[in-house]
């Protein structure tokens, strides 16, 4: 499967890019979730985890941040595991939108399904498919799945969760529309509560790179050795990350970076190099599409230098 890279090379190149991106001051923390606006603009970390479980990390690697939309691929993978692809895709499509992550025009014209599980409407729909008799049970199912992918326990950021819950009028509007079209069968507020909570799970860039490395390793967690997802579940997840993970810049990302990736408005971005490694980073200064400037640039640069595009 293509070229293999020495640990020394990966570490060296990552460090160089970290140093050069540290100067990048572009962008600002997200403000539409009030608690996220308080983020420290200086925080910056990059991490890489290989499919053998080797870890390289630079910068603020101890700093935790909320996953936000970087949770969407993992959430989708749990929906697949819970309900199977046929049922999941009767509720959510597989087409990129060319629209922002929180677009209100997120439902397909005939089926009224959200276009894909990587945007808010699609992730709210996949949240509603997670098994459990209560919101707590559903949230714990998601948290446990993420923990298996990360190989460690993950805590909730209560402040960010409550801040989003109090201000999420747009996500509520999208959910009411889905309820009207019967795409959302569960209770709206209960589904949103679970969705907000899983968006507010805390990770470090090493944790996120570890979760990405599990995807790179066909679903087997590189350190615990547990087969968390099947290779089929992983390949569906990666396909959708590739075409839809970066929203209205997914095309540009595919063209310039050539890797399945996902961003979140907290300033997290991760990408997967199948068979080799996962890479992730955090810096809260985001662009107008919701992607961290420093981390997107870093991954783009890293891919260019090491020729990582899946088509290379
Ligand atoms: N929790 C955020 C929202 O629903 C996630 C969006 C994102 O990270 N792009 O708006």
Mean pLDDT of the chain: 96
d(C-alpha 172, C-alpha 189), whole Å: 8
d(C-alpha 274, C-alpha 152), whole Å: 22
Instruction: State the distance from the centre of ligand 1 to the C-alpha of 70, rounded, in angstroms.
Output: 9
Domain ranges of the chain: 7-68+202-306, 69-199
pLDDT at 1 over 60: no
Res 2: pLDDT: 61
Bridge partners of residue 272, in order along the sequence: 278
Q: State pLDDT tens for residues 184-198.
A: 999 999 999 999 999
Cβ 181 vs Cβ 112: under 8 Å: yes
Known active-site residue 69: yes
Cβ 46 vs Cβ 14: under 8 Å: yes
Atom index in ligand 1 nearest the CA of residue 170 equals 10
**Is the CB of residue 103 below 6 angstroms from any atom belonging to ligand 1?**
no
**Is the CB of residue 265 below 6 angstroms from any atom belonging to ligand 1?**
yes
pLDDT at 151 over 60: yes
Beta strands in the chain (DSSP E): 45-50, 55-59, 65-66, 202-203, 261-264, 268-273, 277-282
In Å, how far are 50, 180, 288 from 1, measured between CA atoms? Answer: 15, 47, 36
**Is the CB of residue 68 below 6 angstroms from any atom belonging to ligand 1?**
yes
Res 208: pLDDT: 98
pLDDT at 311 over 60: yes
**Is the CB of residue 171 below 6 angstroms from any atom belonging to ligand 1?**
yes
Run of H or E including 10: helix 7-22
Atom index in ligand 1 nearest the CA of residue 69 equals 8
CATH number given to 7-68+202-306:
3.40.710.10
pLDDT at 38 over 80: yes
Residue 190 class from Cβ within 10 Å (0-12 exposed, 13-18 middle, 19+ buried)?
middle
Query: pTM of the predicted model, to two decimals?
Result: 0.97
CATH class of 69-199: alpha beta
Closest to 81 in 3D by CA, of 235, 260, 230: 230
Please tell me whether residue 225 adopts helix, strand or coil conformation: coil
Residue 304: pLDDT band (50, 70, 90) is: very high
pLDDT at 67 over 60: yes
List the catalytic residue out of 81, 88, 183, 247: 247
Known active-site residue 144: no
Task: Show the tokens assigned to 205.
Answer: 């860039």
pLDDT at 91 over 60: yes
List the catalytic residue out of 72, 81, 165, 276: 72
- Residue 61 CB partners (closer than 8 Å, separation 6+): 45, 47, 204, 205, 206
**Is the CB of residue 14 below 6 angstroms from any atom belonging to ligand 1?**
no
Please tell me whether residue 289 adopts helix, strand or coil conformation: coil
In Å, how far are 13, 120, 291 from 164, measured between CA atoms? Answer: 37, 13, 18
Bridge partners of residue 49, in order along the sequence: 55, 278
């Amino acid at each position: 499967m293509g070229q293999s890279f020495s640990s020394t090379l990966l570490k060296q190149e990552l460090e160089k890019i970290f140093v050069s991106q540290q100067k990048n001051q572009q962008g600002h923390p997200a403000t539409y979730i009030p608690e996220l606006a308080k983020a420290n603009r200086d925080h910056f970390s990059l991490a890489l985890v290989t499919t053998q479980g080797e870890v390289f990390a630079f910068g603020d690697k101890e700093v935790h941040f909320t996953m936000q939309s970087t949770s969407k691929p993992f959430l989708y993978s749990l929906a697949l595991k819970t309900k199977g692809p046929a049922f999941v895709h009767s509720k959510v499509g597989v087409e990129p939108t060319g629209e922002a992550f929180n677009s209100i025009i997120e439902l397909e014209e005939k089926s009224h399904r959200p276009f894909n599980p990587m945007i808010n409407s699609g992730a709210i729909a996949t949240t509603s498919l997670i098994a459990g008799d209560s919101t707590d049970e559903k949230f714990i199912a998601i948290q446990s799945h993420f923990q298996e992918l990360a190989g460690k326990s993950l805590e909730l950021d209560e402040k960010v969760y409550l801040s989003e819950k109090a201000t999420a009028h747009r996500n509520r509007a999208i959910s009411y529309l889905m309820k009207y079209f019967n795409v959302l069968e569960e209770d709206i507020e209960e589904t949103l509560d679970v969705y907000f909570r899983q968006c507010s799970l805390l990770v470090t860039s090493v944790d996120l790179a570890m979760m990405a490395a599990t995807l790179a390793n066909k679903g087997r967690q590189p350190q615990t050795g547990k087969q968390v997802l099947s290779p089929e579940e992983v390949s569906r997840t990666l396909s959708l990350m590739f075409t839809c993970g970066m929203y209205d810049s997914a095309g540009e990302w595919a063209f310039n970076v050539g890797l399945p990736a996902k961003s979140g408005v907290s300033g997290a971005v991760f990408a997967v190099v199948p068979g080799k490694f996962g890479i992730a980073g955090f810096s809260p200064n985001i662009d107008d599409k919701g992607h961290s400037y420093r981390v997107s640039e870093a991954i783009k640069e890293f891919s260019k230098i090491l020729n990582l595009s899946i088509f290379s």
